Amino acid sequence: MAITRAARCDDDRQLMLEALLSARRMLYISWAGRSVRDNSEQPPSVLVSQLRDYLAAGWRGEGGEEGAGEGSLLAQRSFQHPLQPFSRRYFTPGSPLHTYAREWRAAHLAGAGEAAAQVPALAPFVPDIAVPLTLAQLHRFVRHPAQAFFRQRLNVRFDQEAELNLDEEAFGLQGLAGYGVIEQLQARVVAEIEAAPRSAAGLPLAQRVAAQLARIERAGTLPLAGLGARKRAELQEAVLPSLQSWLAHRHRFDRPLQRQRLHLAQDGLVFEDWLEDLRVPDRDGDAVPAWIELQARALLGPRGEVRPGAVLLPYLRSLVAAACGVAVQGIVVARDTTLALAPMPPGEALAQLQTLLQVWQAGQDSPLPLPLKTALAAAAAVDNDLARAEAVYEGDGFADAGEVADACWARIYPDFDALCEDGRFALLAEAVHAPLLAWVATQVQVLEPDALAPVIYPSTLEPA
């Protein structure tokens, strides 16, 4: 073992020597000299330490002194940089340190009371017709305008730090972990059904679900032993009804159609996308095509009402399709219910989409005060009473932290008064989210558990 360790040290020295001899104009060696946790000093590696000792022992500095003192060559050639690029030491007048991060210099100048005009302003957003807006981008914006602004315009993310992947046994699936397993299970079963040849189409659905659950369990996602068997049975019971409903609707709308192009141009802004997986009943060629969506989440509230925030994406899909002159109906199959979405009137849909595109364009210049849950509460308020919206935004101070706990909203609107300060919040909530509430009340039908399919609408709709 001693021989092997010595040989490895010799190999490291040889590599270090080759690196030194390869340098022609400059040799730059760096190491993390301070701890990121407590700023305590950390020594360099053995090879770098030996090189520093050799320089300190063999060369004098400009002052003629030997060793590692202030006048030594080693001290003159060593620079200690701050750990962070935004350190004030980089921007102190006369500092020997240099940085290329000019944005932090502007921030320090503004913070020091100098002219704020030195901070470069964000250039006004100009839409590019070569880069059209898509349905996914529109959905991300309406769901979280502040996050969309920070990510798209500033390339800034306030994501939580990833938790350490600890090597420990799983005893349950809670929150997002359980939702992720259900979503993964549904996606695997659907992909298997769609890819299976007709000869294998008769395989029982319960058997397909059980097989995919076994694969997920073998991957170590589920708990072990009895807890795993119990969780596997719970997942089977939770997923099987929604898959059965989804499959029943697919069998009724059994003839697939070609995808439909969605296109709309407005004031230099171009919306461009495709409506995929459209189907009609084979025996009824005059029926309005339907898109069928399978969701892993629950869509109903505690009183059996449809939660508007949970159907935001189906709403936008129906809105954009109708505004672009494509008559479609929607079927959303979730864990707790199945929803039938009636075709939207094209004229109303076009007016609403135009308003939404104007709001989206305004949201590219500044983060709009439009948090989803708070705005829905404000749009549903009676007599402009925003008490419920304030409670949704700021929480109750205990279990519910409110939407203000989100890093993006907390940075720009730290409380409900700041959210409402410029008067835009109530107007935007009325313009963007009041139509969503009206659509849920008039165009969305909750199907009974034994209903195989919604009403099949005829293709006699008002043209766009």
Neighbours of 381 (CB within 10 A): 16
Give which of 78, 52, 85, 80 is closest to 67, Cα–Cα. 52
pLDDT at 163: 45
CB atoms within 10 A of CB 391: 15
pLDDT of residue 255: 87
Contacts of residue 74, defined as CB under 8 A and 6 or more positions apart, other chains included, come to 52, 55, 56, 59, 61, 68
Same-domain status, 214 and 184: yes
Per-residue confidence (pLDDT) for residue 143, from 0 to 100: 96
Please state, in angstroms and rounded to a whole number, the distance separating the CA atoms of residues 373 and 381. 12
Q: Give the pairing type, strands 338-341 and 444-446.
A: antiparallel
| Residue 462 falls inside a structural domain | no
Could you give the C-alpha distances from 82 to 36, 79, 99, in angstroms and in order?
11, 10, 11
Cβ atoms of 239 and 208 within 8 Å: the answer is: no
- Is 253 within 8 Å of 280 (Cβ atoms)? yes
Do 372 and 429 reside in the same domain of the chain? yes
Q: Are 101 and 16 part of one and the same domain?
A: no
**329 strand-pairing partners:** 290
Specify whether 103 is located in the same domain as 222: no
Q: Per DSSP, which regions of 169-249 are E strands? A: none
Strands 255-256, 278-280: pairing is antiparallel
Domain presence at residue 163: no
Q: Do 334 and 399 belong to one domain?
A: yes
Inside any domain, residue 226: yes
Residue type, 172: G
Same domain for 380 and 324, yes or no, is yes
Instruction: Say whether 454 sits in a helix, a strand or coil.
Output: coil
Q: What pairs with residue 291 in β-bridges? A: 278, 330
Report the alpha-carbon distance of residue 453 to residue 341 in Å, rounded: 11
Give domain status of residue 274, yes or no. yes
Q: Specify the DSSP element, H or E, that contains 463.
A: none
The answer as to whether 71 is a domain residue is yes
Distances from the Cα of 122 to the Cαs of 14, 150, 153, in angstroms?
A: 51, 12, 9
Q: 393 and 318, same structural domain? A: yes
Judge whether 393 and 419 are in contact, CB under 8 Å. Answer: yes
- Among residues 224, 248, 272, which one ends one of the domains? 248
82 lies in some domain: no
- Does one domain contain both 244 and 385? no
Taking every pair of Cα atoms in the chain, the longest distance, rounded to a whole number of angstroms, is: 98
Domain boundary among 248, 281, 299: 248
d(CA 217, CA 213): 6
**Amino acid type, 80:** Q
Residue 123 lies in a domain: no
C-alpha 59/C-alpha 72 separation (Å) is 7
Please state whether the predicted TM-score (pTM) of the whole model is above 0.85. Answer: no
Range of the domain at 182: 176-248
Under-50 pLDDT residues of the chain: 1-2, 114-119, 161-172, 199-200, 453-454, 459-464
Do 300 and 230 belong to one domain? no
**Distance, CA of 405 to CA of 267 (rounded, Å):** 36
CA angle, 245 then 249 then 255, to 5°? 155
According to the model, what pLDDT value does residue 108 have? 67
CA 272/CA 264 separation, integer angstroms: 7
Q: How many domains does the chain have?
A: 4
> Same domain, yes or no, for 234 and 97?
no
Same domain, 299 and 318: yes
Place of tokens 């996606």: 187
d(CA 275, CA 262) in angstroms, rounded, equals 7
Output the pLDDT for position 162.
43
Supply 379's token pair.
Answer: 């749009």
Helix (H) or strand (E) holding 430: helix 424-432
Measured CA to CA, the distance from residue 419 to residue 359 in angstroms comes to 17
Of 252, 242, 436, the C-alpha closest to 339 is: 242
Do 393 and 399 form a contact (C-beta atoms < 8 A)?
no
